[in-house]
Structure 1
Amino acid sequence: TILLLPDGCDVQRLQVLDRDEARRALGLPLDRPLIGYIGAIFHRDAQLMARAFDLVRGTHPRAMLAVIGYCNRDVAALVADPGAVIRTGFVSYEDMNRYLAACDLCWLPLRDTGANRGRWPLKLNEYMAAGRPVVATAVGDVATLMRKHEIGLLARDRPEDLAEATAQLLSDPALRKRLGRNARRVAEEVFDWALLTERLEAFYDNVLSKERA
């Protein structure tokens, strides 16, 4: 018997916060589109993200990119306008929550590689817990989850497609709101660590009861 459990979300610690209040707390402008990305990134994925961001700026010239937390790549050096990239460096969990809340959407730019097909990017869990709509490339299990639960838009792993999906979502506040609500619901109903713990305990109980029989 096999039980497949995903990595979970801390839905108690990460909350859905008001966008404008989060921006005020962080000193961010209220009227500029903001795309978020958390953590480290592979080199090819960083190139994809940077090129897509330049293209997004073609349709949304005031758009900004927030690289939240530690990142192993200098994404700002890869884009045409480094001043449009916010690099937070290490931040507290509370400020990470605020930065996520401040974002209009979050990115998951994965090149279609064996490494990306075979892994689960934990940053997606943080996006969902914060109730952020996601724009991702259709790679691996991420694509399956997003299609099933409608938490964002999918694109091919090309800068043009990622930028097009991003521009579409930036231009549609109602869609962003609906997808963000779906994301938080999935975090609470599917990925909550408490629920996953219950599933694991029930699995152990079932296995042990069969062994005793």
Structure 2
Amino acid sequence: MALEKNSESGLGVEADPIPGKASEGSGDERPRTKDPPGLGNPLVIVKDGGTMRILMLNHNTKWRGTFFRAFHFARCLARRGHEVTVVTISESNRLRFRTENLQGVRVVESPDLLAGKGRTGWDPYDTIRRTLLALTGETFDIVHAFDCRPAVILPALALKRIRGVKLVSDWADWWGRGGIIEERGRILRWTMGAVETFFEEFFRPFADGLTVTSRALQDRAAGLGIPRGRIRYIPSGADTETIRPMDKIRSRKLLGLPENGPIVEFIGFVNYDFDCMIRSFPFVQKAFPEATLLLVGQPSPLTPKLSKACGITRGIRETGVVPFEKLSVYLACADVLLLPFTDKICNIGRGPIKLGDYMAAGRPIVTQPVGDLRFVFDGSEPIGVLAGDTPEEFGRAVCELLADPDRAEKLGRNARRLAEERYAWPILASELERYYEHLLGSPDRSAAAAKGGHEA
């Protein structure tokens, strides 16, 4: 997801991020009824299976990419009575760890010496610091490694081999072997393609369990020799608590946007189909001259280039990065939400986190029937329109919804209901909890977890 989270309410301190083992009398039986002051104090539900100590290792900086998946799982598991630490990369620190408590989750930002795309789990210095930190800190029951960059998988393997911690690997994107690496520049493709593929594939079989966000990754993992019984399909979810349907006109007034003209909207830091989306807008403007394309998130250098190439002289508005707590307001402004998702390997192998945000907002969605999206959109209660791969087809699907407000409203209600009933993060976190307990041999949920993961 593309937006910046305002974390000033967290208890940020420069301290030992993973302290030593708890003192006697502070073990698993300790009841927890609320978060530290200033963190929202959500209800904590302590489950019968007992408290698990869980370490989640992530390769992104905070509030970018897979951090959202890890953090949403973590906060829901914390509410269920577990002790969860998420280690992610600091956006700027090069020497010191930084720790804060966010919604009951200990979030540790690790120092990193690289910059740009290099600051995504490749730094040997960060890898060594994380490994030493993990091996000298408290004992964990589970280490969940979100993807397989060196700063994630190597500390996780050290915990498994040296301290006997159960290792779960999370596979959320198709990076190498024709995937996201093909969206990079030529130099990166040549220098990092084989490296990306090696780290993505070589270490997965060493994990005790594997969670995946798509059926394509599930099949790819099985192709690496991982027994399907060790693989759990758990897609990314919807934040139905933070993101709620809001009044469209009132939201537009709050943001100074046109109250009456149609607005189609995209949110995101990363979009591998930006070209398709921009090129589709002239087809929308032809049918709806007053339409606005609202781009929420970090501005792309492609926007002015593509606009000029397509002859677009008006109608596109870029907000820049906005505070996460305002996301509901921005999403509520849209008549239609855009999720361009053309037929390419990187899309076939991933489940976009923004889909959950869109569904939670209760607005209709236009996307393409690629990867797991075709299963989500082919349900008995549709949540949007599936378009073809070309810009003209995508624009035509957008116009189809703009021309039929009643249908669009119904699809939006369906989307919100699907988010609440099947994709809410607490539901998915419960599935993950059962899988953890299955791996740990907890008798009360092993049978349920053995049945498999989520059904789309």
State whether TM-score is above 0.5. Answer: yes
Structure 2 residue corresponding to 1:192, chosen from 424, 427, 442: 424
Q: Which residue of 1 aligns with 2:159?
A: none
Residues 212 and 101 of structure 1, relative CA distance in 2, 3 Å threshold = closer
Partner letter of residue 140 of structure 1?
G
Secondary structure of 1:83's aligned partner: coil
CA distance in 2, matches of 1:86, 1:212: 51
Q: For residue 8 of structure 1, what is the aligned residue in structure 2?
A: 237
Choose from 264, 267, 286 the match for 1:38. 267
Q: Which has the larger radius of gyration?
A: 2
Distance 2:428 2:445 in 1: 23
Matching residue of 1:146: 377
- Between the aligned partners of 2:339 and 2:372, the Cα distance in structure 1 is 12
1:50 to 278, 289, 311: 278
Match of 1:179 in 2: 411
- Distance in 2, matches of 1:118 and 1:163, equals 24
- Choose the corresponding residue for 1:26, options 255, 266, 276: 255
Query: CA 1:188–1:211 in structure 2 vs 1: closer, same or farther (change >3 Å)?
Result: closer
**Quick one: distance in 2 between partners of 1:122 and 1:78?**
25
CA contact (8 A) 1:66 1:88 kept: yes
Tell me what 2:395 maps to.
163
The answer on 1:91 being equivalent to 2:325 is no
| Percent pairwise identity | 37
Give matches, 1:102-141, under 5 Å.
Answer: 102-141=333-372
Counterpart CA distance in 2 for 1:143 and 1:210 is 35
Q: What amino acid is the match of 1:150? A: P
Whether contact under 8 Å (2:335, 2:363) holds in the other structure is yes
CA apart distance, 1:171: 0.6
Which deviates more from structure 2 when the two are superposed, residues 178-187 or residues 65-74?
65-74
Q: State the secondary structure of the residue aligned to 1:40.
A: coil
SS in 2 for 1:110: coil
Q: Distance in 1 between matches of 2:410 and 2:444?
A: 44
1:71 positional shift: 4.1
- The question of whether the paired residues in 1 share the 8 Å contact of 2:251 and 2:329 is answered with yes
TM-score by length of structure 1 reads: 0.91
Q: CA deviation at 1:153?
A: 0.2
- Provide the rounded CA distance (Å) in 1 between the counterparts of 2:306 and 2:259: 25
**1:25 and 1:42, CA in 2 relative to 1: closer, same or farther beyond 3 A?**
closer
1:208 paired residue among 411, 419, 442: 442
**Structure 1 residue matching 2:359: 3-state secondary structure:** helix
SS of the equivalent of 1:67 reads strand
Residues 52-96 of structure 1, C-alpha deviations (whole Å, 9 max, x = no match): 111111111111101012244432441232431110101012322
Alpha-carbon distance between aligned partners in 2 of 1:211 and 1:117, rounded to the nearest angstrom:
32
Q: Secondary structure of the residue that 1:160 maps to in structure 2?
A: helix
Whether the 8 Å contact between 1:76 and 1:83 is mirrored in structure 2 is no
The worse-fitting range, judged by mean Cα deviation, of 22-31 and 63-72 is 63-72
Secondary structure of the structure 2 residue equivalent to 1:103: coil
Amino acid at match of 1:156: G
8 Å CA contact retained: 2:435, 2:446 = no
Alignment partners' CA distance in 2, 1:121 and 1:73 = 22
State the distance in 2 between where 1:40 and 1:82 align.
23
Residues 434 and 446 in structure 2, CA contact (< 8 A), matched pair in contact too: no
Distance 1:73-1:6 versus aligned 2 partners, 3 A rule: farther
Q: Higher relative CO (CA 8 A, sep ≥ 6), structure 1 or 2?
A: 1
Q: Higher helix proportion, which one?
A: 1
TM-score, normalization by structure 2: 0.44
Unpaired stretches in structure 1, ≥5 consecutive residues: none
Deviation string for 1:100-152 (max 9, x for gaps)? 10000111112211111111111111101111110111211112211124110
Query: Which amino acid is the alignment partner of residue 374 of structure 2?
Result: A
